[in-house]
Amino acid sequence: MTSGGLPMSSRARPPERRQETSTNLADILERVLDKGIVIAGDIRVNLLDIELLTIKIRLLVASVDKAKEMGIDWWEHDPTLSSGKSSGGLIEENRLLKERIAALEAGSAPELDGGAAPAGRSVVAPKDVVEPAPEVVEPAPEELVDAEDDEEPADTEDDEVDADDEELVDDDEEPGDPEPEEAVEAAPPRRPQRRARRPVERRRRDDG
């Protein structure tokens, strides 16, 4: 919880207080630029400039230093931008496929259905893949009309309601009977990723 502030002197610095480098740059800048005694030195640095600079710097610091903390690290997951390091899903899938091939070649196929297959599916169908809205939405609109007449005449609600049809369906539907087709439906979102890698490989071949 505690961070920043006074670094211990380099002579005797307990390991738990390695603050000098870990102190948030934004916090340091806030203090050395915003606070502290302001005296006009012989070398004139326009204070207005510094104040403008402070704002600019905060934006910069926020955008670079903080982006990762905020979880904005899409560039690390974009296979065209970061060469393969982060495509863990593909690597895992690849590994499973190789195992399967090895197993098939070894002729131990019966074991596969019990072991490798479910693992393989979990890679292909992540739980939170957005499904296309199912057809069972039908009962919802009727209810919505009722609701608008009885309760909330505000037009502005319409959009939100539409967007959340699925939520309504949840009320009526029995949750948690995953149909086997889901895995098939969920598969397409992975394809673009695979395609995205190909240009990189092609480019490499061109270079060589």
- CA–CA separation, 197 and 194 (whole Å): 5
Report which DSSP code applies to 18: -
- Both structure tokens of 112: 């596969």
Contacting other proteins within 171-190 (CB under 8 A): 171-172
Q: Which of 102, 131, 167, 194 binds other proteins (CB under 8 A)?
A: 167
199 neighbors 78 (Cβ within 8 angstroms)? no
User: What's the closest the beta carbon of residue 68 comes to other proteins, in angstroms?
Assistant: 10
Instruction: Output 39 or 130, the one with its CB closest to other proteins.
Output: 39
Q: Which of 14, 16, 43, 175 binds other proteins (CB under 8 A)?
A: 43
- The reply on whether position 130 binds other proteins by CB under 8 A is no
- The reply on whether position 33 binds other proteins by CB under 8 A is yes
Q: Which of 13, 18, 22, 69 binds other proteins (CB under 8 A)?
A: 69
113 neighbors 145 (Cβ within 8 angstroms)? no
- Both structure tokens of 65: 């230093």
Q: Which of 13, 18, 22, 59 binds other proteins (CB under 8 A)?
A: 59
- The reply on whether position 116 binds other proteins by CB under 8 A is no
- The reply on whether position 7 binds other proteins by CB under 8 A is yes
- The reply on whether position 134 binds other proteins by CB under 8 A is no
Name the strand (E) or helix (H) holding 95: helix 88-105
Q: Which residue, among 27, 34, 33, 38, has the nearest Cα to 5 in the 3D structure? A: 27
